[in-house]
Amino acid sequence: MEHVDFGTQKAHIADARERLDAGSSDDGDLRASLDGIAGEAKRLERLVKRNRLDFASYLEMARQVNSQGLDHGKIESYVRNLLSGRLFATRVFLMREGTDKDREGMLFSLQGGVEIELDAGGAVAEWLVKVQTPFSVGSREAELEQHALLETMRGAKVEVIVPLVRTDHHRRDLKGMLLLGPKLNGEAYDDTDFEFMGFLAEMLAIALHNAYLYYRSTHDALTRVYTRGYLDVVLAQEISRTRRQLDRTEGQRPGLSVLMIDIDHFKQVNDSLGHQTGDAVLREVAQELARGLRDYDTLARYGGEEFVALLPDTPKRLAVEVAERLRSAVEGLESPFGEERPVTISLGVAGFPEDGTSMGQLLQAADESLYQSKQSGRNRVTVAGDDG
C-alpha cells in the first residue's frame, strides 16, 4: 500500500504564502504555486482512494482466507486461485505441516508431479524464520545453495519464496511456505506484489496453524481417519438431522445406518509379527475402508482394531451392500502372512430408527451384530434385527 506523503503539498502552500505576504506581483509564479497545490491535492486524493481500495481488498482477502474454515484442501485451493488470478503466477506451491505419521514434523508440497519436503524444525526452517519476508530466489542464491535448496527451487521453476511465519508472543514458528513460479506475462514481481505476499503470509500462517490443530484433534494419528470423540459429535448431529427429516416426511426419507467393524485375529498380527507390522495393517485397512465410502460418510477409529462408519441417508438394506463390499475389499489386501492367510474383517450393521433411537442404542445394536459375526466364524456381515 503506497504511503501518502503530504510534504510536497506543504511546500507548495508555504511558497504561495511567502509570495502573498511579500506582495509579489508575479502572478505567473503565484499561479504556478497554486496549480502545484491543486495538482498535488488531486494526486493525494487518488492515492487515498487507491489505498482505501487496497485496504478493502485486503480485508476481503482476510475474510476469504478465514471463510475457508479449518480445511487444508480449501485453504490451498483458495490461495492457488488467488495468486494465479491476482499476480498471474504460473505455478503456486503451498508447503504446509504434515498431518500424518509419515510426515510429522515435515513441511511438504505435492503438486504438478513435484514433491518438495523439508524438516520443519531444521536449519532451513530456522533460516526462513529469520528471513520472514518474501524474497526472490535470485536475490538469495548463495544462501539457498548453502541450505541445499537452490537446485530444488530451480527444478520446480520457483521464482519467489514466501515464508509463512506464525508469531506467538516471543516465539516464531515456520508453518509453511508459498513458492511462486514466473508470471504468466513474463514480468518480474514488483514491490507491490511483495507487499501483497507479505500481507497474505501473515494471515495464511495463522490459518494453516489452526487447520493443523483442528486436524490433529479430530483425526487418529496412526490411521488418519476420525477419532472417537469426533464420531460422537457427528453421530449425535446425524441422529437429530435424520429424526427431523423423518418427522417432516412421515418416515418417507431413508434413515441413518451404522457399521461396526473389527479386524479379525488382530492380536495374532501383533504377537507374531510385531507392533510395527500391526500398525501397518491398521493403516492399510483404515485407508481401504475410507476408499470404499462416500465423501460425506464418516469413518472413525473406535478403539484398538475397531472402526465405525456412519452412512447418512442410507437405509439398512443398502448399508448391508456397502458392508459386503468393504469386507471383500479388505480380504483382497496384501496380507503380511501371505496369500494363504488373508487379513479379514467382521461387521455389524444397525439402522436408525429401527434398531435404536439414541446414539447409545444404535451403537449397541451394531456392536451386538458385530459380536454375532465373530461368533459365527468371522469375515462376515451380520445385520441387527435379522433373525435369519
Active site residues: 305
Residue 31 CA to residue 258 CA, distance in Å, equals 85
Residue 72 CA to residue 74 CA, distance in Å, equals 6
Secondary structure element (H or E) that encloses residue 303, with its range: strand 298-303
User: What are the grid coordinates assigned to 143, written together?
Assistant: 544462501
Cβ atoms of 52 and 69 closer than 8 Å: no
Cβ atoms of 260 and 348 closer than 8 Å: yes
Task: For residue 245, give the amino acid letter.
Answer: Q
| 3-state DSSP assignment of residue 332 | coil
Residue 300 CA to residue 261 CA, distance in Å, equals 10
CA 75 to chain centre: 5
Which residue is associated with the grid cell 459429535?
Answer: 233
Cβ atoms of 328 and 360 closer than 8 Å: no
Number of neighbours of residue 310 by Cβ within 10 angstroms: 24
Residue 350 CA to residue 360 CA, distance in Å, equals 12
Query: What ranges make up the beta strands (E) of 51-113?
Result: 92-97, 106-111
User: What are the grid coordinates assigned to 46, written together?
Assistant: 487518488
| 3-state DSSP assignment of residue 172 | strand
Secondary structure element (H or E) that encloses residue 27, with its range: helix 27-67
Number of neighbours of residue 4 by Cβ within 10 angstroms: 12
Secondary structure element (H or E) that encloses residue 182, with its range: none
Rg of the chain over all Cα atoms, to the nearest angstrom: 31
Tell me the β-bridge partners of 107: 97, 118
| 3-state DSSP assignment of residue 384 | coil
